[in-house]
Chains A and B, each alone.
Chain A
Amino acid sequence: MALTGIDIFKQLPKTNCGDCGVPTCLAFAMKIAAGQAELAGCPHLSEDAASALSEASAPPIRAVTIGVGDDAVKVGGELVLYRHEKTFFNPCVFAAVIDDGMDAATVDGLLKQTNESRFVRVEQDLKAGLVGVKSLSGDTAKFVALIEKVKAATTQPMVLMCGDPAEMEAGLKAAGETAPLIYAATAANYEAMAALALAHKAPLAVCGTGDLDALVDLVKKIMAAGVKDIVLDPGTRNPKDTLERLVYIRRAALNKKVKELGFPIIVFPNEETDDKMMEAVYAGLYVGKYGSVIMLSDLDAARALPLYVLRQNIYTDPQRPMQVKPGIYPIGNPTADSPVLITSNFSLTYFIVSGEVEASRVPAWLCVMDTEGLSVMTSWAAGKFVPEKIVPFIKGVGIEEQVKHRKLVIPGYLATMSGELEDELEGWNVEVGPREAADIPPFLKTWAS
């Protein structure tokens, strides 16, 4: 990734044929350097140039895919230390660990959680992402039986956890062509584990001892064996040491281009404490600081939901607030007598408000104004959700043709502007709604046109 546009340009054919969709080779080179185009876009690249460039232009942290098909997850591929510098791209994933020493009821409970731990928030589907399957007994038959059970019960990709290559091989066979994450290669077994990863086209986790130089050496050997998709476990099992290793690994990959550390990281808050609440807090630490695969002891909803929302926050693009299209959103077949509400086009605001209007079961018209993706109060303070903007919006959006009445419900936090808005919004009465969206249902139930 250290390559500049000029470095890349030197390797291009320099014919300016335009087949890449950009008029010149130089312009194409600049696009690649900026991460806006891929080498493959130039059909005339020589093979030598292609391999030289792809080697040197590989992202500093490799993106690794675990699993196959629709439920495969991609982790890693990050470019920055701090999310404000660009964004964090590939959200971390969570996995509850099921082991072959658990009784059937416990296993079934964890499988049920793995499948049902799903929430839709701001139109995103929030879920764990993976499921851990661990050999505790050392009994290959038991491990295989558990893998078969998990594979039949869920489509979430697996993390197969076992230190014995022979047992792992049986496990991989049972897993079929599902590209599970193999956990883990160590200094003692890496040759056999690397061979398994290659044979089964599965990514390989490499478990260190806490010493990062030793981890670099081990990864070097595994890369030399031909394994490309690697996930790193620094090997520490307390959050203070783990944080230090995670920061060092991310920095070494991004700032020092240490290839051997340019991979996503797996962490084990479930092994750092016996207290499930603390486990969730440590998991939160790793959501922010560089964990990509986060292993948990279960996915109880009351703990999973806050963690998923934290991940959603941290992996939101900081440059660009998520927004919805401005316009009139009819909710529940509203009529000419249904209430009219106005809100901002910040996705979070829109989905919270529309969700509550829907929950009220009172059909309504929700007018979503273009506030450039800012929340109600932020856009008000920024002068984007004020009477002089609201008047032309309401007059132009077509709501006057939809309803017979002229009553507009505004957010409770904007009560201070209700008088001014009513003066300027000819023909309309302005009603101040509740402050929090959660109070919209009782409000709408008693609303009368």
Chain B
Amino acid sequence: MEVKETYNGKIREATIGLGDTAVTVGGETSLPLYMFEGAAPNKPVIALEVYDTKPEDWPEAAIAPYADVLDDPVKWALKCQDEYKADMICLNLASTNPSTGDRNGADIAPIVKAVADAIKIPLIVYGTANADKDAEVMPKAAEACQGKRALIGPVEEENYKTVAAAALGFDHLAAPHSPIDVNIAKQLNILITQLGLAPERVIIDPTTGALGYGLEYCYSVMERLRLAAMTQNDSMTQMPMINQIGREVWKAKEVKTSEADEPAWGDAETRGVLWEALTATALIMAGSNILVMRHPKAVELTRQFVAALTGATN
């Protein structure tokens, strides 16, 4: 049966972090998980979320694994690294959101530095996708973790000149964020590479919708980006991709509702963990390389999935 495809494109490899614990993603020469017709030298990796302030609205199942560290980002990051074996840490600067904390760059720089210095694994630092505010905050954050080759995001159309320039200036990588739109994703890649950031320093953030909340749109846009990368050899789609899964999943109603409130929905932790794991695995099928996740059990399932689908079998 001759139905194997050959592809003329390849996903670029990108390395986050420096030294022994640096993590390389990308390098695929086929569609995602199609190990039977291409190489995937680097597996999808998992970053665990850490927040700069104690989260207020997480459901019980998500709080439990971090109950002892939620008000200390450094301890939290170390727990993710040492106990839950995260490949990377994603520090979310939630408190800079103008409608919640509105802290500024100078306020959070010490937190970024403390976390960056404490961990051995690579760091991702994310703003709140408020273009104006991120333009003020992210350069300070990038400066605070200088020398770590971190991934800085999200870079938006409205602020790329500041945020991507900060990533470039402080020797990091950048995550351009496009709203589920192939053309905007490509356009933003063109703009930031024109600024001087090498394409190997770019990780696409295509926007993430959780299972039941827009996942189908992300799935298809990512699938289209991967098809363009592999079959059309379209250079500006050939970057690895990142998905912010934890924060989208754990606000979904079906994840937050307790079993007492909806007995027909079954155990809340099982449901939440699987909601996150299925969102992650669907996005891996669509081409995700870096999955930013929350629950350690969902992480474990996603790891096993990756191992089973990429490992050697008969």
In the bound complex, residues from chain A placing their C-beta under 8 Å from that of B227 are 82
| Residue from A119, A241, A303, A316 in contact with B274 in the complex, judged by beta carbons closer than 8 Å | A303
Q: Which stretch, B75-83, B105-113, B232-240, B261-269, touches the partner chain A?
A: B261-269
B253 touches A284 (CB 8 A): no
User: Contacts A252-B1, A278-B304, A285-B281 hold; do A240 and B313 have CB atoms under 8 A apart?
Assistant: yes
User: Contacts A238-B308, A285-B285, A303-B270 hold; do A213 and B1 have CB atoms under 8 A apart?
Assistant: yes
User: Does residue A176 face the partner (Cβ distance < 8 Å to B)?
Assistant: no
| Residue from B256, B265, B285, B311 in contact with A288 in the complex, judged by beta carbons closer than 8 Å | B285
User: Does residue B196 face the partner (Cβ distance < 8 Å to A)?
Assistant: no
* A314 to B227 CA separation, bound complex (whole angstroms): 18
- B208-227 vs A, CB cutoff 8 Å, 1 = contact: the mask equals 00011111110110011001
A84 touches B223 (CB 8 A): yes
From DSSP, what is the main secondary structure of chain B's interface residues? helix
User: Contacts A213-B1, A318-B216, A438-B253 hold; do A313 and B266 have CB atoms under 8 A apart?
Assistant: no
B309 touches A240 (CB 8 A): yes
User: Does residue A248 face the partner (Cβ distance < 8 Å to B)?
Assistant: yes
- Count, chain B residues at interface, CB 8 A: 52
Question: What is the distance, in angstroms, from A6's C-beta to the closest C-beta of chain B?
Answer: 28
In the bound complex, residues from chain A placing their C-beta under 8 Å from that of B224 are 82, 84
- Nearest residue (CB) in B for A412 is B99
User: Does residue A41 face the partner (Cβ distance < 8 Å to B)?
Assistant: no
Query: Which A275-331 residues have C-beta < 8 A from chain B?
Result: 277-278, 280-282, 284-285, 288-289, 300-307, 309-310, 312-314, 316, 318
Question: What is the distance, in angstroms, from B146's C-beta to the closest C-beta of chain A?
Answer: 33
User: Does residue B179 face the partner (Cβ distance < 8 Å to A)?
Assistant: yes
In the bound complex, residues from chain A placing their C-beta under 8 Å from that of B33 are 243
* A396 to B313 CA separation, bound complex (whole angstroms): 64
- Nearest residue (CB) in A for B218 is A313
Query: Which B32-57 residues have C-beta < 8 A from chain A?
Result: 33-36
In the bound complex, residues from chain B placing their C-beta under 8 Å from that of A305 are 254, 265-266, 271
Question: What is the distance, in angstroms, from A120's C-beta to the closest C-beta of chain B?
Answer: 11
B264 touches A119 (CB 8 A): yes
B301 touches A302 (CB 8 A): no
B301 touches A281 (CB 8 A): yes
- Nearest residue (CB) in A for B300 is A277
Query: Which B257-306 residues have C-beta < 8 A from chain A?
Result: 257, 264-268, 270-271, 273-275, 277-278, 281-282, 285, 297, 301-302, 304-305
* A309 to B265 CA separation, bound complex (whole angstroms): 12
| Residue from B216, B223, B253, B270 in contact with A313 in the complex, judged by beta carbons closer than 8 Å | B216
User: Does residue B161 face the partner (Cβ distance < 8 Å to A)?
Assistant: no
User: Does residue B3 face the partner (Cβ distance < 8 Å to A)?
Assistant: yes
User: Does residue A389 face the partner (Cβ distance < 8 Å to B)?
Assistant: no
A284 touches B313 (CB 8 A): no
- Nearest residue (CB) in A for B36 is A244
* A251 to B37 CA separation, bound complex (whole angstroms): 13
Most A-side CB within 10 Å, residue of B212, B213, B224: B212
User: Contacts A256-B3, A285-B281, A436-B251 hold; do A302 and B266 have CB atoms under 8 A apart?
Assistant: yes
In the bound complex, residues from chain B placing their C-beta under 8 Å from that of A251 are 3, 5
B278 touches A284 (CB 8 A): yes
* A82 to B31 CA separation, bound complex (whole angstroms): 12
User: Does residue A334 face the partner (Cβ distance < 8 Å to B)?
Assistant: no
B274 touches A415 (CB 8 A): no
Question: What is the distance, in angstroms, from B247's C-beta to the closest C-beta of chain A?
Answer: 13
- B58-84 vs A, CB cutoff 8 Å, 1 = contact: the mask equals 000000000000000000000000000
* A310 to B254 CA separation, bound complex (whole angstroms): 13
- B123-138 vs A, CB cutoff 8 Å, 1 = contact: the mask equals 0000000000000000
* A303 to B269 CA separation, bound complex (whole angstroms): 11
Question: What is the distance, in angstroms, from A168's C-beta to the closest C-beta of chain B?
Answer: 29
| Residue from A244, A281, A314, A381 in contact with B281 in the complex, judged by beta carbons closer than 8 Å | A281
User: Contacts A240-B35, A255-B3, A313-B211 hold; do A84 and B220 have CB atoms under 8 A apart?
Assistant: yes
Query: Which A115-140 residues have C-beta < 8 A from chain B?
Result: 116, 119, 121
| Residue from A256, A281, A307 in contact with B305 in the complex, judged by beta carbons closer than 8 Å | A281
B267 touches A302 (CB 8 A): yes
In the bound complex, residues from chain B placing their C-beta under 8 Å from that of A303 are 266, 270-271, 274
A280 touches B274 (CB 8 A): yes
In the bound complex, residues from chain B placing their C-beta under 8 Å from that of A301 are 264-266, 271
Question: What is the distance, in angstroms, from A240's C-beta to the closest C-beta of chain B?
Answer: 5
* A348 to B217 CA separation, bound complex (whole angstroms): 13
User: Does residue A352 face the partner (Cβ distance < 8 Å to B)?
Assistant: yes
Question: What is the distance, in angstroms, from A249's C-beta to the closest C-beta of chain B?
Answer: 9
In the bound complex, residues from chain A placing their C-beta under 8 Å from that of B223 are 82-84
User: Contacts A256-B3, A281-B301 hold; do A310 and B220 have CB atoms under 8 A apart?
Assistant: no
User: Does residue A247 face the partner (Cβ distance < 8 Å to B)?
Assistant: yes
* A251 to B36 CA separation, bound complex (whole angstroms): 14
- Count, chain A residues at interface, CB 8 A: 55
User: Does residue A101 face the partner (Cβ distance < 8 Å to B)?
Assistant: no
User: Does residue A399 face the partner (Cβ distance < 8 Å to B)?
Assistant: no
| Residue from B251, B282, B311 in contact with A240 in the complex, judged by beta carbons closer than 8 Å | B311
* A257 to B235 CA separation, bound complex (whole angstroms): 32
In the bound complex, residues from chain B placing their C-beta under 8 Å from that of A318 are 216-217, 220
Question: What is the distance, in angstroms, from B130's C-beta to the closest C-beta of chain A?
Answer: 10
- Nearest residue (CB) in A for B304 is A278
* A288 to B267 CA separation, bound complex (whole angstroms): 25
| Residue from B256, B285, B301 in contact with A438 in the complex, judged by beta carbons closer than 8 Å | B256
* A288 to B273 CA separation, bound complex (whole angstroms): 19
User: Does residue B314 face the partner (Cβ distance < 8 Å to A)?
Assistant: yes
B265 touches A302 (CB 8 A): yes
In the bound complex, residues from chain B placing their C-beta under 8 Å from that of A248 are 1, 3
User: Does residue A216 face the partner (Cβ distance < 8 Å to B)?
Assistant: yes
A281 touches B212 (CB 8 A): no
A306 touches B274 (CB 8 A): yes
In the bound complex, residues from chain A placing their C-beta under 8 Å from that of B36 are 244, 247
User: Does residue A437 face the partner (Cβ distance < 8 Å to B)?
Assistant: yes
In the bound complex, residues from chain A placing their C-beta under 8 Å from that of B270 are 277, 300, 302-303
Query: Which A241-278 residues have C-beta < 8 A from chain B?
Result: 241, 243-244, 247-248, 251-252, 255-256, 258, 277-278
A309 touches B212 (CB 8 A): yes
User: Does residue A20 face the partner (Cβ distance < 8 Å to B)?
Assistant: no
Question: What is the distance, in angstroms, from A246's C-beta to the closest C-beta of chain B?
Answer: 11
In the bound complex, residues from chain B placing their C-beta under 8 Å from that of A352 are 253
- Nearest residue (CB) in B for A251 is B3
- Nearest residue (CB) in B for A415 is B99
Question: What is the distance, in angstroms, from B189's C-beta to the closest C-beta of chain A?
Answer: 20
User: Does residue A239 face the partner (Cβ distance < 8 Å to B)?
Assistant: yes
User: Does residue A212 face the partner (Cβ distance < 8 Å to B)?
Assistant: yes
> 3 closest A-B pairs (Cβ-Cβ)?
A302-B266, A301-B266, A302-B270
Q: List 11 A-B contacts (CB under 8 A).
A: A83-B219, A240-B35, A277-B273, A278-B301, A280-B277, A289-B285, A307-B278, A309-B211, A314-B282, A316-B216, A436-B253
